[in-house]
Structure 1
Amino acid sequence: MRVNRILLSSSLIVVALVIQVSVLARLHLPGAVPDLLLLTVLGLALVYGHVGGALVGFGAGLLADLAPPADHAAGRYALVLCVIGYLAGLVKPESGQVRSATGPMVVVVAAAVGSTLLYAGVGALVGDTAARHVGLGSLLFTAALYDLLLAPFVVPGVMALARRAENDPLAETGSTASGDISSGWLSGGTGLRIGGQRGGLKTKAARARTARAGRIKGVKRL
């Protein structure tokens, strides 16, 4: 991974982990805890691809395993996020543009459910039966719900920052980034089309004024 990727990923992961541990974990919501760290990994994986997503996921999971108040074996969440980051990177848009919110939302729900199942499965292998006492069905539903509600406010911003750090031409102008990411999540990707229509209307208006001025000069010569 390049230096800019490492610096940006590390910063975003640390911020996400601090917020998750100090704020989200203390809300005492029923069921699961909103997984801000997972959403950050998903946003980076959708830009960096499967290899970058796996590396980012492993680093984020290992940091979560070692950060207090972790109560599970080190490496458990690192394995989960490594797999999730790899799989999320496989569905990276080929054109680099997210034109609809449907695809990313499906990725978020699948990642929330998959990470919960994988975490519980690994826990069962090492003798941790906490998921059975809480109720796996409740954990799956609440994890998917909380992450789905939080995703539109996290994933598009993470993707935009990652693209800017990559010096991606898609992120050079604010209008392009807004239309590609934010509009793609919140309004079905119509922001770019509206911008293009406005530019077309301005061009047509300028041409009409030029043609009208030419006709007026011709009348004066007659």
Structure 2
Amino acid sequence: MNVVRAAAAAAAVGIAVVLQVSVFPHLAWDGIVPDLCLLVVVGAALTRGAQFAVVLGFGAGVVLDLAPPADHVAGRWALALVLVGYVAGRVRQEARPSAGTVVATVAASSFVGTSVFALSGLLLDDPALGVPQLLEVIVVALLWDLLLTPLVLPAVMAVFRRLEPDRSLA
């Protein structure tokens, strides 16, 4: 992996985590904040492919799992974002996906990522929430992620595309 691209990916994840755990809790809807790390992973997947996005998703998930005020078993976000990176990366078919493809990929990735995180919590007896509350969390997280897609994804995709153009799809 290119050192510059790795540094840019680390910076993008760092900024996303800081915003997600410090700024967005003040804007939370029923305690649910937008998942900027998921959007960074989806943007990387659509631009660079599944392999890069899986590695980035694991790193972003570990950082998110360990960032205060984490109140869950570590590894749950790492698992969710690895799967998001894989799923979103498999969607990538062309060098510049259409807006509809991007929005559909974010919706599917948000559903998969939030569902995996929630279901892993049920399996590990981690949350104090029941299934109806978890369904509400999944729907609200999906809406948050779709709302922020036009603000976050173009910038993330432009950064990854500009750092190293993908020659495999050209």
What is the TM-score with the length of structure 1 in the denominator?
A: 0.71
Give the equivalent residue in structure 1 for 2:13: 13
Q: Secondary structure of 1:23's partner?
A: helix
Q: Which has the higher contact order (CA 8 A, sep 6+)?
A: 2
Question: Contact conserved, 2:62 with 2:74, CA < 8 A, in 1?
Answer: yes
Report Cα offsets for 1:105-164 as digits up to 9, x if no partner.
Answer: 111111111111111111112111334177122112211111101001101110001011
**Inter-CA distance 84–131: structure 2 relative to 1 (3 Å threshold):** farther
For 1:82, the aligned partner's letter is: V
Kindly state the Cα deviation for residue 2 of structure 1 after the two structures are TM-superposed.
2.0
* Corresponding position: 1:43 with 2:43: yes
> Which TM-score applies when normalising by structure 2?
0.91
- Matched with 2:151 is 153
**Number of the residue aligned with 1:204:** none
- The answer on whether the counterparts of 2:61 and 2:75 sit within 8 Å (CA) in structure 1 is yes
Residue in structure 2 matched with residue 123 of structure 1 by the alignment: 121
**Any residues of structure 2 matched to 1:24-35 within 5 Å, and which?**
24-30=24-30, 32-35=32-35
**Whose Rg is larger?**
1
Separation of aligned partners in 2, 1:110 and 1:42: 10
Counterpart in 2 of 1:66? 66
CA distance in structure 1 between the partners assigned to 2:132 and 2:16 by the alignment: 25
Whether the aligned pair in 1 keeps the contact of 2:50 and 2:87 (CA below 8 Å) is yes
The match for 1:76 is 76
Name stretches of at least 5 consecutive residues in structure 2 with no aligned partner.
Answer: none
Name segments (4+ residues, structure 1) moved above 4 Å: none
Identity of aligned pairs, percent? Answer: 44
Aligned length: 167
User: Distance in 2 between the 1:28 and 1:97 partners?
Assistant: 32
- Mean Cα deviation higher: 28-37 or 128-137: 128-137
Q: Note closer, same or farther for the CA distance 1:124–1:112 as it changes in structure 2 (3 Å cut).
A: same
Match for residue 92 of structure 2? 92
Q: 2:39, 2:161 → 1: CA distance?
A: 16
* Structure 1: unaligned runs, 5 residues or longer: 170-222
Contact 1:57 1:81 in 2 (8 A): yes
Tell me the amino acid that sits aligned with residue 96 of structure 2. Q
CA shift, 1:3, in A, is: 1.2
Residue by residue, what CA displacement relative to the aligned partner does 1:179-218 show, whole Å, maximum 9, x if unpaired?
xxxxxxxxxxxxxxxxxxxxxxxxxxxxxxxxxxxxxxxx
Whole-angstrom distance in 2 between the partners of 1:64 and 1:129: 17
Distance, in Å, in 1 between the alignment partners of 2:66 and 2:132 is: 23
* Residue aligning to 2:112: 114
Query: What residue in structure 2 maps to residue 164 of structure 1?
Result: 162
Cα deviation, residue 56, structure 1? 0.3
Contact 2:62-2:78 within 8 A present in 1 as well: yes
